[in-house]
């Protein structure tokens, strides 16, 4: 038994509520094993005990020039479902309804070989280019100006990715000038000549993509990248000092250079950037979850750990630099992705809009995505941007064909984060029985997070990881109890492998019996393997 698990079990017997996060030095909400197996789970909520305000950008998303994300996804000029700009109206409506606040574009691996000049100017003059990252053809009929127009139509903000693979810092600064300067300079006048008078005021920019990955076009060492990112940042700020810049952190904890990459990069560019990026994809594979769904559903705790470790590096470098500035994190790619990862699923065979990474999500994937929503929320003090990767057709919650779209299972937990997580995240204390997972510390069956808004709405998000048993939950209101239930829904079902498709949605929210509150306590039961949201008004 690991010493950490011994510590948790000792804490449980004496009724303490310490969290995994506390042990990483992060004093965030406590998810702990502090009730006996037959006791109800208890969730202590005090609206005065907050972790941080929620930045709306915590539930952003991502659209890459990859497969059918752009072409046939959001842009399909030949379709009867499109408007006069060629934008799919049904997809736009879905994204507006979700309320996605920020969307990263144009990549991803794609961006590291992309010349943004190929995608601007008269459409008939734009070249058809081989995208080497996905071995696909890009007609360039959709580029920067089309994306800005689409963002406006979708009521979202762009998070622009820059090519720091084959691209130079000078080209990155030129794109900032093209987008953000009003007039009177080479690149701003070019935008005007292209027919776009108003500058776009793009605030957030990613300095490259996954530059630590040997698969990345232009991959380099951490120090080389750190110097290049610093130069790009300086040139971009000469053009527009108001931009917020994100340096490439490690692509994930499995990278051999994990954390050391981040440290070396930040030693070069800490003073020039505002945030550090993290990426992570989870899989229900033998290697990652041992083919065991109860382990799979615990994997969001490894995202908590990745966040804590990345912050430790940011703050280490901050110490080295004696800097007053604290970096925030941009978790700008996260999702479940493990089926469509090889062979034809990642090779476009030099076609336009090939079917790539078209992962079909099942019910247990949605449950883990619920857990990941919880993890992002309880780290909202330092994670300011996060992007579900991706949004349409490519490892996505929304899938299209010629005649319509359907919502994948993962759409729903993501939409709940967007709809119900408002205001600030509360530092809830959770007492839950735990279970053992090989290679992990004791895992609480119940993972719970709560938020509270200034207009008196409290929302509670509960993942029950127990595959066989429902759990009784008692919410202990330590100040004012939520009185009126405004919403209560659950994602549940018998079949963990159930999927949605054009033939029907088998996995979607169901009404959850409105729980009642008396004497400052609310009692209810969450079904086995389920994700539940309850919102109360004051
Ligand atoms: O989102 C799919 C790919 O995953 C992205 O292009 C890349 O950044 C990551 O490896």
pLDDT digit string, tens, across residues 169-222: 999 999 999 999 999 999 999 999 999 999 999 999 999 999 999 999 999 999
Q: Is the CB of 212 under 6 A from ligand 1?
A: no
159, 389, 392, best to mutate for ligand 1 pocket (most atoms within 8 Å of CB): 389
Known active-site residue 333: yes
**What pLDDT is attached to residue 367?**
98
Helix (H) or strand (E) holding 12: helix 3-13
208 lines ligand 1 (CB under 6 A): no
Candidates 72, 94, 177, 210; catalytic one: 210
Give the model confidence (pLDDT) of 393-421 as tens digits.
999 999 999 999 999 999 999 999 999 99
CA gap 373, 443 in Å, rounded: 17
In this structure, what DSSP letter does residue 207 have?
Answer: E
Residue 116 CA, ligand 1 centroid: distance in Å:
19
Ligand 1 atom having least distance to the Cα of 335: 1
Active site residue 210: yes
Which of 69, 106, 108, 249 has most ligand 1 atoms within 8 Å of CB, for mutation? 108
**Does residue 259 carry a pLDDT above 60?**
yes
List the structure tokens of 121: 């100017």
State the Cα angle at 194 between 190 and 196, rounded to 5°: 95
Q: Phi first, then psi: what are they for 502, rounded to 5°?
A: -65, -20
CA-nearest of 97, 207, 73, 208 to 146 is: 73
Query: Please, what sign has the CA dihedral across residues 444, 446, 447, 448?
Result: negative
> The whole model's pTM is what?
0.94
Place 39 in a pLDDT band, splitting at 50, 70 and 90. Answer: confident
Distance between Cα 144 and ligand 1 center (Å):
20
Residue 55 in contact with residue 423, Cβ under 8 Å? no
Please tell me the number of Cα atoms within 13 Å of 464 on its side-chain side.
Answer: 24
Whether 389 lines ligand 1, by a CB cut-off of 6 Å, is: yes
Regarding the beta carbon of 161 and ligand 1, being less than 6 Å apart is answered no
> Which parts of 254-389 fold into alpha helices (H)?
260-269, 286-289, 293-296, 300-321, 363-378
Please report the atom of ligand 1 found closest to the CA of residue 333: 1
Q: Of all helices (H) and strands (E), which one includes residue 345?
A: none
Confidence of residue 31 (pLDDT cuts 50, 70, 90): low
Q: Is the pLDDT of residue 4 over 90?
A: no
- Is residue 393 a contact partner of residue 322, using CB atoms and an 8 Å limit? no
The pLDDT, as a whole number, for residue 538 is 85
Beta carbon of 64 within 6 Å of any ligand 1 atom? yes
Indicate the pLDDT class of residue 481, thresholds 50, 70 and 90. Answer: confident
- Whether residue 25 is predicted with pLDDT greater than 60 in this model: the reply is no
Q: Which of 101-105, 327-331, 429-433, 482-486 has the lowest mean pLDDT?
A: 482-486
Q: Is 131 in the pocket of ligand 1 (CB under 6 A)?
A: no
482 DSSP 8-state letter: P
User: How much of the chain exceeds pLDDT 70, in percent?
Assistant: 93
pLDDT at 19: 38
């Amino acid at each position: 038994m690991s010493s950490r698990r011994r510590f948790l079990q000792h804490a449980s017997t004496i009724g303490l509520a310490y969290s995994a996060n506390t042990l990483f030095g992060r004093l965030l909400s406590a998810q702990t094993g502090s009730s006996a197996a037959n006791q109800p789970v208890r969730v202590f909520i005090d609206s005065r005990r907050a972790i941080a305000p929620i930045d709306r950008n915590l539930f952003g998303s991502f659209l890459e020039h990859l497969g059918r994300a752009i072409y046939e996804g959001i842009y399909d000029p030949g379709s009867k479902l499109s408007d006069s700009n060629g934008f799919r109206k049904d997809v736009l409506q879905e994204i507006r309804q979700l309320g996605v606040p920020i969307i990263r574009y144009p990549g991803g691996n794609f961006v590291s070989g992309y010349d943004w000049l190929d995608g601007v100017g008269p459409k008939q003059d734009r070249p058809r280019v081989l995208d080497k990252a996905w071995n696909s053809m890009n007609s360039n009929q959709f580029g920067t100006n089309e994306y800005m127009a689409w963002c406006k139509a979708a009521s979202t903000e762009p998070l622009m990715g820059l090519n720091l693979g084959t691209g130079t810092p000078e080209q990155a600064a030129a794109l900032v000038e093209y987008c953000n300067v009003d007039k009177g300079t080479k690149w701003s006048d070019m935008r005007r000549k292209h027919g776009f008078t108003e500058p776009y005021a793009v605030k957030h920019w990613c300095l490259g993509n996954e530059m630590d990955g040997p698969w990345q076009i232009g991959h380099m060492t951490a120090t080389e990248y750190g110097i290049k990112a610093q130069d790009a940042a300086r040139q971009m700020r000469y053009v527009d000092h108001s931009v917020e810049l994100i340096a490439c952190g490690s692509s994930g904890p499995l990278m051999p250079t994990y954390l050391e990459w981040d440290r070396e990069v930040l030693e070069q560019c800490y003073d020039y950037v505002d945030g550090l990026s993290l990426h992570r994809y989870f899989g229900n594979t033998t290697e990652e979850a041992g083919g065991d769904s109860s382990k799979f559903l615990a994997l969001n705790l490894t995202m908590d750990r990745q966040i804590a470790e990345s912050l430790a590096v940011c703050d280490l470098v901050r110490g080295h630099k004696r800097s007053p500035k604290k970096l925030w994190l941009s978790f700008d790619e996260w999702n479940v992705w493990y089926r469509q990862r090889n062979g034809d699923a990642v090779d476009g065979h030099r076609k336009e809009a090939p079917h790539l990474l078209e992962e079909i999500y099942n019910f247990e994937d949605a449950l883990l995505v619920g857990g990941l929503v919880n993890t992002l929320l309880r780290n909202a003090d330092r994670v300011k941007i996060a992007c579900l990767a991706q949004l349409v057709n490519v490892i996505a919650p929304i899938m299209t064909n010629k005649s319509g779209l359907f919502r994948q299972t993962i759409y729903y937990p993501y939409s709940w984060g967007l709809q119900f997580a408002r205001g600030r995240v509360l530092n809830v204390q959770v007492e839950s029985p735990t279970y053992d997972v090989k290679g992990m510390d004791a895992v609480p069956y119940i993972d719970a997070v709560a938020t509270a808004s200034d207009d008196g709405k409290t929302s509670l998000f509960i993942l029950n990881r127990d595959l066989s048993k429902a759990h009784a939950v008692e919410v202990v209101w330590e100040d004012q109890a939520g009185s009126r239930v405004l919403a209560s829904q659950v994602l549940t079902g018998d079949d963990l492998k159930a999927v949605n498709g054009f033939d029907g949605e088998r996995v979607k929210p169901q009404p959850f019996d409105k729980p009642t509150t008396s004497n400052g306590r609310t009692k209810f039961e969450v079904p086995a393997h389920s994700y539940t949201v309850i919102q109360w008004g004051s």
